[in-house]
Amino acid sequence: MTRHLIATALLLVMTAAAAAPTVQYISDRLELPLRSGQSLQHRILRMLPSGTSLEVLQTSKGTGYSQVRTQNGTVGWVLTRFLMQTPSARKRLTAAEQKIAKLEIEDARLKKRGIALGSRASTQARRLARLEQDKQTLAAEIERIRRVAGSSLALDRENKDLKAQTLAQGRELQALHQENEMLKDRSKRDWFLAGAGVLFTGLLLGLILPRLRLRRRGSWGSF
């Protein structure tokens, strides 16, 4: 029973593999006829040169033919024994030659780039040495300036302090000036109010005193 199941499974696998479309190539034979049927009596549809890529649709073990489809869609039959799983030696040779040519171009490009990088590295090394020398020169100059400018910096700080004090005194003087102007304005306003009060008092007395006199005269006449 187990052997029967194994045999059935193998048969199914082989059938599925035979039915599945695969890609194969014309062997190193110069040309292979693509026929309309599975015999030499069938019409030749076209001649397929060596290395042509074909899609295998089905294979007949009885006739020794395989049904194939070309890249442009033509379907026909070819002898199975002239098909192989890998491209032809000539095609593989051409591909290898092309690959070698690309590798040679890439190798030349890398060598050229290596030379350029070497030159650039040498230039960078010289530039780095020059920058290091400039750095040391600048460091010495800064140290000299620090020593010479020590007193100048102190004078500069003192000058800044004096400027700050002058600015503060100027602000204080401006505030006093503004306060003085306000006092002047207030004094003028007080004098104006005092004058207005005196004028109002005079007018009031001017109106009241004549009436008081008339009343006094009237009182004296009644006696």
Query: How far, rounded to the nearest angstrom, does the alpha carbon of residue 176 sit from its chain's CA centroid?
Result: 60
Q: For residue 192, what are the CA distances in angstroms to 159, 197, 198, 200?
A: 49, 9, 10, 12
Q: Are the beta carbons of 77 and 34 closer than 8 angstroms?
A: yes
Predicted TM-score of the model (pTM)? 0.34
pLDDT in tens, the chain (223 residues): 555 545 555 555 455 445 556 777 655 556 889 999 999 999 999 999 888 889 999 999 999 999 999 999 999 999 999 888 876 666 666 777 788 888 878 888 888 887 878 777 888 888 888 888 888 888 887 777 777 666 666 667 777 787 888 788 878 878 777 887 888 777 777 777 777 777 778 777 777 777 666 666 655 555 4
Give dist(CA 44, CA 202) in Å, integer.
146
Q: Where are the domains of the chain?
A: 2-87, 95-169
Strand order in the sheet with 53-60: 44-49, 31-35, 75-79, 65-69, 53-60, 22-26, 83-84
Q: For residue 134, what are the CA distances in angstroms to 126, 127, 140, 148, 220?
A: 12, 10, 10, 21, 121
Q: Are the beta carbons of 27 and 66 closer than 8 angstroms?
A: no
Written as one letter, the residue type at 167 is L
Give the fold, CATH level 3, of 2-87.
SH3 type barrels. (2.30.30)
